[in-house]
Amino acid sequence: MAELLASLVLVFLAGLVTALATGIGALPFFLVDDVSDRTSVILWGLASGIMLSASLFGLVTEGLAEGTPRDLVVGLLAGVVLVVVSHRIISGAEVNPRKYEEADYRKLLLILGVLTVHSFPEGVAVGVSFAELDLAGGLQILGFSIPLLAVFMTLAISIHNVPEGVAIAIPLQSMGVSKLRMVWWAVFSSLPQPVGAVVAFYFVRIAREFMAVGFGFAAGAMIYLVLTEFIPEAREIGAGLPNDGRRELLAGIAVGVALMVPLGFV
Q: What is the mean pLDDT of each run of 10 residues along the chain (266 residues)?
A: 81 92 86 80 86 84 85 90 76 57 55 63 85 69 79 85 80 77 85 89 80 86 85 88 90 86 62
From residue 191, give the alpha-carbon distance in Å to each of 37, 81, 120, 123: 26, 22, 9, 9
**Total domains in the fold of the chain:** 1
Within-domain flag for 30: no
pLDDT of residue 113: 59
Within-domain flag for 127: yes
Instruction: Give the global pTM.
Output: 0.75
pLDDT of residue 198: 92
Residue pair 133/147 in contact (Cβ under 8 Å)? The answer is: yes
Within-domain flag for 31: no
Within-domain flag for 228: yes
Residue pair 43/167 in contact (Cβ under 8 Å)? The answer is: no
Residue pair 117/255 in contact (Cβ under 8 Å)? The answer is: no
Within-domain flag for 247: yes
Contacts of 127 (CB under 8 A, 6+ apart): 11, 15, 196, 197, 198, 199, 200, 201, 202, 203, 204
Within-domain flag for 36: no
Within-domain flag for 39: no
Phi, psi of 250 (to 5 degrees): -65, -35
Domain limits at 156? 2-23+44-265
Within-domain flag for 199: yes
pLDDT of residue 77: 93
Closest CA to 163 of 14, 13, 12, 28: 28
pLDDT of residue 254: 92
Q: Is 145 helix (H, G, I), strand (E, B) or coil?
A: strand
